[in-house]
Structure 1
Amino acid sequence: MTKLLAIALSAFFIQGAAAQDFPTRPITIVVPVPPGGIVDMAARLASEPLTQALHQSVVVDNRTGASGNIAYGYVAQAAHDGYTLLASYSMYHAGNPSLFTDMRWNAKSFSPVAMVAVAPHVVVVHPSLPVHSLKELVAYAKAHPGEVNYASQGSGSVPHVGTELLKQMTATDMVHVPYKGSGPAIQDVLSGRVQLFITTPPSVIGHIQQGKLRAIAVASASRHPMLPDVPTSAEQGFANFELDAWVSLFAPAGTPQAVIDKLAGALEIGLAKPETIEKARAAGIEVRYQSPQELGKTVEADTKHWSAVIKSAGIVAN
């Protein structure tokens, strides 16, 4: 046996032994947004099956700012031992590499662990806008170029990039009005200062039920249980207009595959439990597990798709 092979085998067995013992202390899931949003909810949803299966506490650590880049940079430079994980938001993961040039992370900084959940988006308008469907919205925007304002919670977010995708698909001209968070954006849509917003259903369901906002489409493959009477974009002839944001767990690159597989296995079992699925549904998100290999392919495809949209629209971080 050569010395090089002996070293490789030794490292392999050491990693295997470490994975068998893992974890021996608490695990931290770093969340790039404040508590309360879909990313935070999905991280806390994932923490429960991990705690139960691995018999160690799982701590959620919200590290906000810089469009997620603070949290991503922190995890990218953490020890690659499985004790520090990232709850990644799809648009940050797939979009930020095309928006920023000075990040402390890149596509090779993380190893996929598992997809946890997805959150569909609903297209809402202020009632003063005389449209009741996507087709009517497109027709109105074509007849009134530059007169429809749409809100987002910041440049590079799903509402921003998603609406730009809709503009590209329909050759319409609508004006972006960015806000610092979905709260201020929703307030200005409610007041009529801006007429259009694409967001997750839980944040606007009450306003829709009260008639303060009008839901005209769910940008997903199936109708949303909170909005059963609102047709999907595909039902209205916009089959390629889907805006499902995912939340997935990643480990720093170089984390032993055996550790990743142990984490993924615990999540696969835990996320399939009826009580977990119901808890997610109540929060307006859908449990959707993907293995490390499947998630890697999803990241690659989404990064290619959204980078093309971002570059075509000329979107830059602000």
Structure 2
Amino acid sequence: MNKRNLMSALLISCLTWGAHAQGTAYPNKPIRLVVGFAPGGAADYVARAISDAMGKSLGQTVIVENRAGAGSSIAAENVAKAAPDGYSVLLASPSSISVNPALNPKLTYTPKDLVPITKVTASPLVIAVNPNIGINSVQDLISRAKQAPGKINYATSGNGSAPHLGAALFIQLTGVDMVHIPFRGGAPAIQSVIAGDTQVTFGTPPSVLPMIQAARLKGLAVSTKNSTPLVPGLPGMQEAKLPEYAIEFWYGLFVPVGTPPAVIKKIFDATQTAMAQPSVKAALAREGTDVSVSASPDQFATFLDEDAKFWVNLVKSAGVKLD
């Protein structure tokens, strides 16, 4: 082959490869769904409940990857710094999007490094105690904590987590003195209450409800103003005689900034399809979690702007610190 023919062949090869690369449809390999907490907690349960349905809708495997630590900041940083190609998706709560940036100015990512796709779930917290300590209601908890300031320890899934913020709001409104014991996820936090190493948790339903049903924890109330069919048998805070208290948390999906709009739309559409599946709704409902999807990525972004105000104000007014 002469030089001219060789150059022509190389040019045709390059053009053919480029056309193939541009035409390759997303996704063409497995997708990471990164979770900021240890296996066994609410975030992990939600991720595993939706990953199969998302994968079927996208035509690729969605692999749940747990990167616990630093109140879910490790996972958020991992995705924020990943290639913006749609193959790294973050399942996040207010912790990594609003709370941690407010608590820690030294974070190596900001919420602006992540693009919101859609909210997927909403849940109350569940106030639960070790069943052997003789606390049977929210008012019992308040009374006991006031009788013994600093003697009751509450376990959470980490600094800045929804359970931490739920307890902080409770302490702020009631004036009690309880000690925060953070863990790397909901499951180890709940186990500490069961073991009696800590006494109370403002836990997420997937972490707490199985233990309440097995009589290994005593449920006191849900964190919303009124009771909910998601958590049958427990009063809301109004019935528990603390009507000024109300808090719930959500999970949503995010990708690195710079992810192509077409890829974002594919993930959004696939998530909408997945969350509409009766099997997904039923699996989440069994664990006290409601499906709650956004109308669009823009609508989710607008929601986040308002939602952040609540969490940041709570961090400041309750004096929440990293340590």
TM-score scaled by structure 2?
0.81
Pairing 1:83–2:81 present: no
| Map of 1:258 onto structure 2 | 262
Out of 33-42 and 158-167, give the one that drifted further: 33-42
Rounded Cα–Cα distance in structure 1 between residues aligned with 2:315 and 2:273: 36
Residue type at the aligned position of 1:106: T
Does the 8 A contact of 1:91 with 1:245 survive in 2?
no
- Classify 1:136/1:19 alpha carbon distance in 2 versus 1 (closer, same or farther; 3 Å): farther
Matches within 5 A, 1:100-249: 100-127=104-131, 129-220=133-224, 223-225=227-229, 227-249=231-253
- Count residues in correspondence: 302
Q: What per-residue deviation string (whole Å, max 9, x for no partner) do you get for residues 36-78 of structure 1?
A: 3221222233333332233233232323333322221121122
| Map of 1:295 onto structure 2 | 300
Rounded Cα–Cα distance in structure 2 between residues aligned with 1:60 and 1:234: 37
Unaligned runs of 5+ in 2: 1-21
Rounded Cα–Cα distance in structure 2 between residues aligned with 1:261 and 1:240: 39
| Map of 2:6 onto structure 1 | none
Out of 94-103 and 186-195, give the one that drifted further: 186-195
Rounded Cα–Cα distance in structure 2 between residues aligned with 1:183 and 1:278: 22
- Classify 1:261/1:62 alpha carbon distance in 2 versus 1 (closer, same or farther; 3 Å): same
| Map of 1:74 onto structure 2 | 78
Residue type at the aligned position of 1:165: L
Pairing 1:317–2:296 present: no
Residue type at the aligned position of 1:298: F
Rounded Cα–Cα distance in structure 2 between residues aligned with 1:167 and 1:304: 20
| Map of 2:15 onto structure 1 | none
How much has 1:280 moved relative to structure 2? 1.8
Does the 8 A contact of 1:115 with 1:247 survive in 2?
yes
| Map of 2:280 onto structure 1 | 276
Q: What per-residue deviation string (whole Å, max 9, x for no partner) do you get for residues 98-131 of structure 1?
A: 2222222102011111112233221112345554
- Classify 1:140/1:33 alpha carbon distance in 2 versus 1 (closer, same or farther; 3 Å): closer
Unaligned runs of 5+ in 1: 1-17
Report the secondary structure of 2:101's partner residue: helix
Does the 8 A contact of 1:38 with 1:285 survive in 2?
no
How much has 1:174 moved relative to structure 2? 2.4
| Map of 1:305 onto structure 2 | 310
Out of 135-144 and 263-272, give the one that drifted further: 135-144
Does the 8 A contact of 2:209 with 2:288 survive in 1?
no
Rounded Cα–Cα distance in structure 2 between residues aligned with 1:259 and 1:317: 35
Q: What per-residue deviation string (whole Å, max 9, x for no partner) do you get for residues 252-301 of structure 1?
A: 11223333223212211221121221122234422211131232133223
How much has 1:225 moved relative to structure 2? 4.7
- Classify 1:284/1:147 alpha carbon distance in 2 versus 1 (closer, same or farther; 3 Å): same
Rounded Cα–Cα distance in structure 1 between residues aligned with 2:100 and 2:232: 33
- Classify 1:169/1:45 alpha carbon distance in 2 versus 1 (closer, same or farther; 3 Å): same
Q: CA RMSD for the aligned pairs?
A: 2.9
How much has 1:87 moved relative to structure 2? 1.2
How much has 1:248 moved relative to structure 2? 0.9
Does the 8 A contact of 1:125 with 1:195 survive in 2?
yes
Out of 262-271 and 129-138, give the one that drifted further: 129-138
